[in-house]
Structure 1
Amino acid sequence: MQDDIRALRRSTGTLAIIAVFVVAYFARDLILPVMLGFLLALTLSPINRFLQRRGLPAAFAATLLILSATACIGGAVFFAGDTVRAWSNDAPNIARDLKYKLSGVTETIDAVKDASTEVEKMTAAPAEGPQQVVVQQPGLLNSAVTVAASSLTSLAVALVLALFLLASGDLFYVKLVQTFRTLSGKKQALAMVYDIERRVSGYLLTITLINAGLGVVVAAALWAVGLEHAYIWGVAAFLLNYLPIIGGVVGTVFVGIHAITYFDSVSYALIAPIAYQVLTTVEAQFVTPYLLGRRLELNIVAVFLTVVLWAWLWGIAGALVAVPFLLVFKVVCDNVDSLTVISNFLGAAQDPPKQRT
């Protein structure tokens, strides 16, 4: 009987996890801006409290912070928008130039591709297949406009939600604590909430400052190499570095493409992506671990799998929120006795198993 009950609980838990991911996949447009709003509020909460201790009202401090964040986002879009738009319009010429300069590599790839096609033709059985219906996809311009409108809407909702959360002060925490009846439950909930805020805000605020420094260094290095619009790649490095593991690789590839099409010598052009990769590697291996210290006590395998999972569910936006989400989940597991095993698995390799008293 007990075995049947345990099996039923496991099945129910499995179905609940599947249901959560299904809802997350189909309700992305609703859940994503809410998550971004909470994360932004957590990031700015230490600064908000500092301003309040200096005598500023909570609503005024929150408005000042959100307006500053909006100005930073708008400034980045304003300075980088025209150049990125010009690159998008010139994409066919860029692709043609890249293909010409890498003609030796592309000829080898084309030869392998042609040989593979010939083998498929020889091994394929001649048969009359059914007529295929090709569904015409929406144009690139329509897709870009749709994505831009959706992104702006999500960002606006996130900023407004963060404003309300910051302006409310500790009201959200008070309401959360009031939902628990026992004193021990209230204490545990309050400790967990403050632990989440401390770890997530510390991580996001620190990683934002690190990314800003990385963006400045990358822009200076590419400017020294002679690459045009080096500041654009500084902004790109700042944003891409929020993507753990894959952000540096993506930035290196795009910098390499731009450098090859800009410089006459391919060998000299390779200096730019090599410099970008070296700088992001130094940041990831030395700067971030030193500054974050034990604030990011996560298993690197768990981080990678979480990034892959949320990138599959929500694309780039999912990869951006993956690590903060994992931090929140880790804190919850740290404070719930039944989730201790998961907490120890998610912890870093050098962390000893947590003992509860």
Structure 2
Amino acid sequence: MPRFPLTVTLVLVSLTLIGWLLVVGRALLLPFVIAILVWYLINALAAAIRAIPLGPYRLPPVVALPAALAVIFGVSTMVVDIVTANLTELARDAPVYQARLEALVATYSEKLGLENPLELRDLVPDNALNRAIAAGANAITTIAGSASLVFIYVLFLLLEQKTFDRKMLRLFTSPERAEIAFKVRERIAVALRHYLGIKTAVSVLTGVLTHVLLTVLGLPYAALFGFIAFLLNYIPTIGSLTAVIFPSLLALVYFDNLTPFLIISLGLGTIQFSIGNLLEPRLMGTSLNMSGLVIMLSLAFWGSIWGVTGMVLCVPLTVMVLIICAQFPASRPIAVLLSADGDVGEPIAMTSGANGANGAKEAGGTP
């Protein structure tokens, strides 16, 4: 019994220290976490490129990996350029839209016969639009500023990935423990491949449909709102709502009548609902097995620590914690609480030491 309070105290102290380190080391950790994600995507794309049939041949890894690297960084550069140009144009036109919104609020206050007419500052904080644009510009500037550091991290990860398995094998005192570690890593990799693959596909579809709808209706900054819809689709629940609000508000002040505003609001809402509540659940299934409440709590936790980047990464990070906690008796109750139905599967069992060592040596070191 005396050991129980000591164990609880040590756990609480450890969690507090980890949280403090995550906050203090944000500037160092975020570029590295982004680099790991990019490294993972490059390897996944390289595997997809190698799978493309070229008659009886397949592209060798020495060709597929640089091709995937070029595609990832080429697309990233193009997206950053387009978004930066749109944000610059929006910042220039922001005072005009704010004046139109103030006039619209005053007009409807007069039509409703309110004794105390509403003002824009009663609905939203002063300069909210300018602050939102400034926050977006700052995020783009931060990403662009850390791009070189991310690129260096990714380059070293690609160069050293063949040695990861050998290093990991030597971290453990026995081949059996190493085998369990490799199997846990494989479970995490399978779960992340499933989640990121489906989430990226539906996010691209959401962004493209948003861009097409806004372009057809003549709303400016369609490319920017399409990218915002793509990015925010990674953020559970609130991301989809935010992706509808921004273009709808702009449509309200940009057009002279309410018809385009209603079409854009209903159209974007239909896109988000159809993809987020009908298509994505059918594709995703129950493989993640995560509680909805836990997803919202992890969204708040990682968002408070790492901002928008933490919100985007909250589901993958929580999936990793769930899988790892499920393998150890002491932490298994945590995995049960994080899961949707309490079924976290059986812990990975040891097999023969030879099999574990051979499996580790045969692995390629990639996710």
TM-score by length of 1: 0.82
User: 1: CA distance between counterparts of 2:5 and 2:152?
Assistant: 44
Deviations 1:51-90 (A, max 9, x none): 56735245x5433222211111111122333222111122
Q: 2:312 aligns with which of 320, 341, 344?
A: 320
Unaligned runs of 5+ in 2: 52-57, 123-130, 350-367
Conserved 8 A contact 1:243-1:319: yes
* Structure 2 partner of 1:92: 95
Mapping of 1:93-172 within 5 angstroms?
A: 93-104=96-107, 111=116, 147-172=139-164
Conserved 8 A contact 1:252-1:274: no
Mapping of 1:1-357 within 5 angstroms?
A: 3-51=1-49, 54-58=58-62, 60-104=63-107, 111=116, 147-349=139-341, 352=343, 354-356=345-347
User: 2: CA distance between counterparts of 1:247 and 1:10?
Assistant: 36
Conserved 8 A contact 1:63-1:163: no
User: 2: CA distance between counterparts of 1:258 and 1:146?
Assistant: 21
Superposition deviation, residue 326 in structure 1: 0.8
Query: Bigger shift: 177-186 or 286-295?
Result: 286-295
User: 2: CA distance between counterparts of 1:180 and 1:82?
Assistant: 51
Superposition deviation, residue 106 in structure 1: 6.4
Question: SS of the counterpart of 2:235?
Answer: coil
User: 1: CA distance between counterparts of 2:115 and 2:161?
Assistant: 61
User: 2: CA distance between counterparts of 1:277 and 1:32?
Assistant: 32
Distance 1:282 1:254, change over 3 A: same
Question: SS of the counterpart of 1:335?
Answer: coil
Distance 1:300 1:284, change over 3 A: same
Conserved 8 A contact 2:50-2:59: yes
Amino acid at match of 2:213: A
* Structure 1 partner of 2:358: none
Question: SS of the counterpart of 1:189?
Answer: helix
* Structure 1 partner of 2:355: none
User: 1: CA distance between counterparts of 2:19 and 2:8?
Assistant: 17
Superposition deviation, residue 146 in structure 1: 6.1
TM-score by length of 2: 0.80
Conserved 8 A contact 1:256-1:272: yes
State the identity as a percent: 20
Conserved 8 A contact 1:43-1:205: no
Conserved 8 A contact 1:188-1:335: no
Deviations 1:236-259 (A, max 9, x none): 211121211111111111111210
Amino acid at match of 1:352: D
Distance 1:192 1:300, change over 3 A: same
Superposed CA RMSD: 2.9
Conserved 8 A contact 1:98-1:261: yes
